């Protein structure tokens, strides 16, 4: 019997696995959150499946999304990355990952915890939504607008309120699985267990 999934999921096995095993599951690790924020920024103007198919290449060519390593990338490294067909070869997007890494390093060097900072926009606990149709799911919220503004102030880019909301959905800050989705019951009862 076919699993009931959220309506945005295609019949692509990679997309289905992402939906079933990752999307909406709370992530508290700062470096994983940084990686996800950068990947969501790469999505701008494209489908998430496009980015998902290239995720392993991004991990390989961006040092496993280690912000300390990426922050040291120079113009030569940017040119080298832009020759790589395994990633989205958009100069602004490639440079945004480096810019975000530098912002992340500055922020954490001041003694701040990136995970705590981001989760603070939802009070540290996944927000449980109870949508029954995709049309009810917002593209952005007051929380994603606040997160976007705060990230931009820190020097991050490709982090507008819509990207921030997609990020919040992906890392489980909000549970936007529809009520008839196979993942909804499990995630509805999820709380912060670090």
What is the number of alpha carbons within 13 Å of residue 106 lying toward its C-beta? 11
- pLDDT on residue 108: 98
Interaxial angle between packed helices 161-170 and 142-154, expressed in degrees from 0 to 180 and rounded to the nearest 10 = 110
- pLDDT on residue 190: 56
pLDDT digits (tens, 9 = 90+) for 129-168: 999 999 999 999 999 999 999 999 999 999 999 999 999 9
The percent of residues in the chain predicted with pLDDT above 70, rounded, is 97
- The CATH code of the domain at 23-188 is 1.10.340.30
The runs of H, that is alpha helices, within 22-160 are: 30-42, 48-61, 67-70, 75-82, 91-109, 114-119, 142-154
Arithmetic mean of pLDDT, 42-49: 90
Partner residues linked to 127 by β-bridges: 174
Query: Is 50 exceeded by the pLDDT of residue 115?
Result: yes
What are the structural domain ranges in the chain?
23-188
Arithmetic mean of pLDDT, 91-109: 98
For residue 112, give every residue at least 6 positions away whose Cβ sits within 8 Å of its Cβ, in sequence order, or none: none
- pLDDT on residue 1: 62
Buried b (16+ CB within 10 A) or exposed e, 174-187: bbbbbeebebbeeb
- pLDDT on residue 193: 41
CA distance 11 to 13: 6
Query: How would you classify the pairing of strands 174-175 and 127-128?
Result: parallel
* pTM (predicted TM-score): 0.94
């Amino acid at each position: 019997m076919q699993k009931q999934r959220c309506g945005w999921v295609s019949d692509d096995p990679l997309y289905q696995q992402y939906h079933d095993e990752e999307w909406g599951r709370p992530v508290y690790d700062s470096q994983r959150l940084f990686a996800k924020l950068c990947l969501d920024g790469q999505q701008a103007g494209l489908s998430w499946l496009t980015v998902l198919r290239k995720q392993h290449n991004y991990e390989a060519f961006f040092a496993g999304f280690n912000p300390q390593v990426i922050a040291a990338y120079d113009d030569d490294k940017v040119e080298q990355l832009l020759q790589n067909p395994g990633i989205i070869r958009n100069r602004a997007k490639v440079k945004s990952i480096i810019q975000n890494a530098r912002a992340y390093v500055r922020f954490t060097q001041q003694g701040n915890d990136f995970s705590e900072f981001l989760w603070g926009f939802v009070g540290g606990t996944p927000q449980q939504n109870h949508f029954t149709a995709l049309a009810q799911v917002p593209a952005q919220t007051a929380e994603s607008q606040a997160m976007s503004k705060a990230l931009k102030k820190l020097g991050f880019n490709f982090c507008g309120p819509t990207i921030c909301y997609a990020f919040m959905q992906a890392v489980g800050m909000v549970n936007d699985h529809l009520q008839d989705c196979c993942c909804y019951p499990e995630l509805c009862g999820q709380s912060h267990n670090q």
